[in-house]
Amino acid sequence: MLKKRIKIILVLIYVLMLAAPGCGSDTQQAATPADFYRGKTINLVVSHSAGSYTDLVSRVLASYLERDTGANVIVTNRLGAGGLEGINYVYRSETDGLTLGVITQGKLVPNKIMSEPAAIYDIEDFSYIMNIGACLYSFIVSPNGPYQSVADLQAGSELIIGGASLSGPITLGGMTVVELLGLDAKVVTGLNSIADQALAANRGETVGWVGTIRSALSYLDSGMSEPMFVLASERDPLVPHVPAITELIDIQDDDMALVHLWETGLASTVVFLAPPGVPEDRLAFLRGLAAEWAQDEEFREEIDSVTGFDVPTYVTGETVAETMSDLAVTLDDFRDKFAEMIAKYRA
């Protein structure tokens, strides 16, 4: 009788073990990423202010994330320190894949080129999901000003070009223009909005500034500003009538590498990413969704509607990660160059 009871008890224990989570043949496999996200809350951190271009793109991403993951997506704007607060926040977040970020490459990369001490991240470490668009930088002037060509700029003296924060792309772009064109010019910082830049150029306080067509679109449409050239080796599809800088001057060797940096690593691209160390299956799941969205006509139309023009490029998955890893290797090559330009051209 005792042996029979022991046998019954052992059988019951075995049955209970099979019924327990993770023990039976049907439950031994871990939950799929789709199962993991369903019903959870995703915090989508945006490194720009509400209503900005990057924020509007993030709202489209949030709606598709909710639809395709079954999660509740909360958009959180963290724009302190020029967006650095948001970038750092994502980098330090839990690696479970429930904190994601939408930032711009034009903020992500310059901080590391300039060895910004508050930038705690390494760009090659993020878990990259998708890049949306690639807005190039142009040199923008007043159509009523005395400087309407490269020749006019090169003939001028003691010129002032508009800049914003010292380590931001507007200031570094202005210094790059001075360097490539060999101008007698300085770059003044502190003009932190496009309105400030456009007004300063129209008042003759500066000869112009470096910015994206997207950011200056309203001023271009109103006739208050116009691009002189694109800081790239090819024309910008958004303004195909505007020449690339390489069409106007002969650029060689190290200077050409600087131009390539502006059309790749420093282009104003929206980057959708996750913290370092997100489980591979969850990262692959998110990348798979992004790849589907990039081919989805409805998604592309929604992105175009919030940007005001066609977004020509979508890059997803491993391709983004490889590009950023390759870029990280080159940053040291440009760090001394930009430090030298700041010393020479800062007003």
Q: Note the pLDDT tens digit of each residue in 16-41.
A: 444 444 444 333 345 899 999 999 99
CA 1 to centroid of chain Cα atoms: 73
Q: What is the pLDDT of residues 188-197, one digit of tens each?
A: 999 999 999 9
Q: What are phi and psi of 197, to 5 degrees?
A: -65, -45
Q: What is the average per-residue pLDDT within 257-272?
A: 92
Average pLDDT of the segment spanning 47-62? 93
Exposure pattern of 131-157 as b/e (b: 16+ CB <10 Å)?
bbbbbbbbbbbbeebebeebeebeeee
- pLDDT band for 14, please (50, 70, 90 cuts): very low
Return the percentage of the chain with pLDDT > 70, whole number.
91
pLDDT category of residue 309 using cuts at 50, 70 and 90: confident
Percent of the chain with pLDDT over 90: 73
Q: Tell which wins on pLDDT, 306 or 183.
A: 183
pLDDT attached to residue 30: 54
- pLDDT reading at 3 higher than 80: no
Mean pLDDT of the 48-66 span = 94
144 closest CA partner among 232, 53, 207, 76:
207
Rounded Cα gap, residues 234 and 136, in angstroms: 10
> How far apart (Å, rounded) are the C-alpha atoms in residues 319 and 129?
9
Instruction: Give the model's confidence band at 81: pLDDT under 50 very low, under 70 low, under 90 confident, else very high.
Output: confident
Stronger pLDDT, 134 or 142, i.e. the higher one: 142
Can you tell me the distance from the alpha carbon of 226 to that of 218, in angstroms, rounded to the nearest whole number? 11
CA gap 172, 339 in Å, rounded: 10
Handedness of CA 95, 97, 101, 104 (dihedral sign): positive
Residue 328 has pLDDT above 60, yes or no: yes
Q: Decide if pLDDT at 220 tops 50.
A: yes
Class (C level, CATH) for 37-134+268-332 = alpha beta
pLDDT, residue 314, reads 93
Same fold, 37-134+268-332 and 137-265: yes
What pLDDT sits at residue 12?
44
Structure tokens at 143: 């159509």
Report how far residue 280's alpha carbon sits from residue 304's, in angstroms, rounded to the nearest whole number: 31
**What pLDDT is stored for residue 115 in this prediction?**
87
CA 158/CA 184 separation, integer angstroms: 5
User: For residue 2, is pLDDT > 70?
Assistant: no
Give the global pTM.
Answer: 0.84
The mean of the pLDDT values for the chain is 90
pLDDT tens digits, residue range 268-297?
A: 899 999 999 999 999 999 999 999 999 999
Rounded CA separation 338/187 (Å): 13
Q: Which residues pair with 43 in a beta bridge?
A: 74, 99
Angle between helical axes of 280-294 and 53-69 (0-180°, round to 10): 110
Q: Which CATH superfamily is domain 137-265 in?
A: Periplasmic binding protein-like II (3.40.190.10)
d(C-alpha 18, C-alpha 26), whole Å: 9
Closest CA to 212 of 242, 190, 185, 186: 242
Q: Would you list the domain boundaries of the chain?
A: 37-134+268-332, 137-265
